[in-house]
Structure 1
C-alpha cells in the first residue's frame, strides 16, 4: 500500500520499521555495530554516514510523516540546523532569517556566520513583505519558524515559499513547535523541514536528536556536509526515537486539546496579563494558522499580571514542572529569558517582545482540571507570600 494513502497513526507505527526476519519480533531489532562489511555489499554502512540500518529506516518514517522524498537523523536539533545552513551557504552568500526565531539558532547565526563571511539579515517582522524587503542579490536561503518560539507568531508558509521560488531561493523551516501532526510545510512549497526531534518526535523528555526532511537532491547536499561535521546519532537513541514516534499522533492530538483549553482558561484569568496561542480567536494570525495547520499545537506562552513574580510562580507549582525543553507528555513551564533565549542580550529580547515575566507553557497529557488547579494554587501562593512580605 502507498504511504500516501496510509493514516497518520499507521505511518507512525509501521512505516520505517525493520522487519525481524530471524525471530519475528513485533518491534524493530536494534543494530549497535559501528563496523560493517565493505566488500560485496550494496551499501557501505558507517554510523557517521547516517546509513546504519536503524538510521536508514527511521529516516523513511520521518520522510513519510513530512511528505518528503527523504530524511536524515542528527545528534541534536542544532546539529540538523547548523549542518543544513552550512550545506547551502558559503562565503559571500546571504541568508534571510525570520526575526522571531529560536534563540539558539539566532545565537548560532550571529556567532558563527561572521567567521565564514556569510551575510545575514533578520527581518523586521514575519509578514511576506518583511522577507521580500530583506532579500539581496546574493540571497541563497530563507529560514522561517512557525509557530515561533516563544511568542507563537504565525508566518504565511506558502507566501514565503512562493516568494522564494520566484527568485530561485531555497527555503527551510523549523517545524518543531507544530510537529508533522499539525503542519506539513513541504505541501505548502517549503524545500527543507527541520526538527528538534528532542521535542514532539521524542515526546518523553529522554532523547536528544534532530531531523531534516526534503527532496533527494537537497538531502544529498546536506549529507555531503553532514558526513564531515559528524553530527550523527547513536543507534540506541535512533531505536528509542523510532519507538517514541509510534505514539506521536496520539500524544500530539491530546496535547492540542489540552493546550486549547488551557489557553482559554488563562486568557479569562484575572491574574494573567496576556496569552499567546494561535488557537485563540484573539490571536492576530488565528485565521492564517487555521488555514495552514491541522491543529494549533501543545505550546503556548503567557505573561503574569504586573506584580506577580514569574520565578516565584514557577517555584510554587506542584504538578507542572519548571523545566527546560518542551513537548514531553508531562507539562512543563520555563522563563525564556533564562533558558531558550538566555544567549540573547536584554536589548535583543526586548526588541522581540520577550519580557522577564513571560512564561512558556508546554502542555502535556494530564487532566486539564489538575493543570488548572496547579496554576491556581501557585498564583495564590505567590499572592500570599507577597502579602506577608
Structure 2
C-alpha cells in the first residue's frame, strides 16, 4: 500500500519498516555496522552520510508521517534546526523568524549567526503585516514554530507559505509541539518540517534525536551540508525511535484528551491566573487551531497567581515530575524561565510574555483524576505553608 493512502496508526506501525528477509521477524532488524562495502554495491553506506539501512528506513517513516518526499534523522532537535537553517543561509543572507521561539533556537540565532555574517529579524507579532514588514531584499528563509514554546501561540501556516512563495523564500517550521499526529505543515505549503524527535516521536523520555521532513530537492541541500558537519544518530537509537513511533498516534491522542481536560480544570482554579492552550475557546488562536490542527497537543502552560510560589508548588507535586523535557507518557512540569528559556535575559523573557510564575505542563497518559488530585494536594501544601 502507498503510505499516503494509509491511516495514521497504520503509517506509524508499518511505513518505512525494514523487512527481515532472513528470519522473517515481525519488526525491523537492527544493523549496527559502522563500516560497509563500497565495491559492487548499489549504495555506498556510511553512518555520517545518513544512509545506513536503519537511518534510511526511519527517514521514510518520517516522510510518510509528514506528507513529504524525504526525511532525515539527526542526533538532536537542535542538530535538525541548525543543519536546516545553515543549509539555506550564507554570508550576507537574511532570515525572518517568529517573535517567540524555543530558547535553544533563539540562542543559536543570536549567538552564532553574526559569526557567519547572517542577518536576522524577529517579527514583531504573528500577523501577516508583522512578517511582511520584517522582510528585506536579502531575505532567504522564514522560520516559525507553532504552537509556540511555552505560550502555545499559533502562526497561520497558509499565510507563511503564501509570503514564502511570493518572495521565493524557504519556509521552515518547528512542528515539535504539534507532532505529525496533530498537524502536517506540508499540507499548508510549508517547505521544511523540523522535530525534536526526543519529544512526541520518542515519547518515553529515553531518546535524544531530531528529524527533518522535506521535498527531495530541499533535503538534498540539507544533506550536502549535514554530511560535512556530522550530526547523525547511532543506529541503535534510530531503531529505538522507530519502535517508539509505532505507538505515537495512540499516545498523542490520549495526551490531547488529557491536556484539554486539564486545561479546562485549571482554567477554573482560583490559584491559576491564566491558562494557555489552543483547544480552549478563550484562546486567541482557537479558530486558527481548528483550521490547521487535528488535535491541540498534550502541551499547555499556566500562570499561577502572584501569591503562589511556583518553586514550592512544583516541589510539592508527588505524581507530576519536575523535569526538563516534555512529551513523555509521564506528566512533567517546569519553569520556562529557569529551563527552556533560561538563556534569554529577563527583559527578553518579559518581552515574550514569559513570567517567573509561568509553568509549562506536559500532560501524560495518566488518569485525569490522579493528575487533579496531585495538583490539588500541592496547592494545599503551599497555601498551608504560607499560612503558618
Deviation track 1:139-182 (CA, whole Å, cap 9, x = no partner) reads 00000000000000010000111111011011000000000000
Deviation track 1:298-338 (CA, whole Å, cap 9, x = no partner) reads 00000111210000000000000000110000000000000
Deviation at 1:2, TM superposition (A): 1.5
Whether the 8 Å contact between 1:100 and 1:126 is mirrored in structure 2 is: no
1:379 equivalent in alignment to 2:379 = yes
Report what 2:363 is aligned to: 363
Report what 1:230 is aligned to: 230
Report what 2:314 is aligned to: 314
Report what 2:12 is aligned to: 12
Secondary structure of 1:56's counterpart equals: helix
Secondary structure of 1:96's counterpart equals: strand
Structure 2 unaligned regions, length at least 5 = none
Report what 1:29 is aligned to: 29
Deviates further, 212-221 or 126-135: 126-135
Deviation track 1:272-299 (CA, whole Å, cap 9, x = no partner) reads 0000000000000100011000000100
1:142 equivalent in alignment to 2:142 = yes
Task: Report the Cα distance in structure 1 between the residues aligned to 2:112 and 2:294, rounded to whole angstroms.
Answer: 35
Task: Report the Cα distance in structure 2 between the residues aligned to 1:85 and 1:163, rounded to whole angstroms.
Answer: 18
Task: Report the Cα distance in structure 2 between the residues aligned to 1:246 and 1:368, rounded to whole angstroms.
Answer: 24
Whether the 8 Å contact between 1:12 and 1:245 is mirrored in structure 2 is: yes
Report what 2:338 is aligned to: 338
Task: Report the Cα distance in structure 2 between the residues aligned to 1:131 and 1:66, rounded to whole angstroms.
Answer: 25
* TM-score normalised by length of structure 1: 0.99
5 Å-filtered alignment, 1:38-77, equals 38-77=38-77
Task: Report the Cα distance in structure 2 between the residues aligned to 1:385 and 1:327, rounded to whole angstroms.
Answer: 31
Task: Report the Cα distance in structure 1 between the residues aligned to 2:375 and 2:130, rounded to whole angstroms.
Answer: 38
Deviation track 1:192-213 (CA, whole Å, cap 9, x = no partner) reads 0000000000000000000000
5 Å-filtered alignment, 1:1-389, equals 1-388=1-388
Task: Report the Cα distance in structure 2 between the residues aligned to 1:276 and 1:233, rounded to whole angstroms.
Answer: 34
Secondary structure of 1:206's counterpart equals: coil
Task: Report the Cα distance in structure 2 between the residues aligned to 1:351 and 1:90, rounded to whole angstroms.
Answer: 29
Task: Report the Cα distance in structure 2 between the residues aligned to 1:189 and 1:382, rounded to whole angstroms.
Answer: 48
Deviation track 1:97-131 (CA, whole Å, cap 9, x = no partner) reads 10111010000000000001100001111122111
Secondary structure of 2:41's counterpart equals: coil
Aligned residues: 388
Task: Report the Cα distance in structure 1 between the residues aligned to 2:48 and 2:226, rounded to whole angstroms.
Answer: 8
Task: Report the Cα distance in structure 1 between the residues aligned to 2:308 and 2:220, rounded to whole angstroms.
Answer: 51
Deviation at 1:376, TM superposition (A): 0.4
Deviation at 1:249, TM superposition (A): 0.3
Secondary structure of 1:143's counterpart equals: strand
Deviation at 1:15, TM superposition (A): 0.6
Task: Report the Cα distance in structure 2 between the residues aligned to 1:338 and 1:292, rounded to whole angstroms.
Answer: 31
Structure 1 ranges of 4+ moved more than 3 A:
none
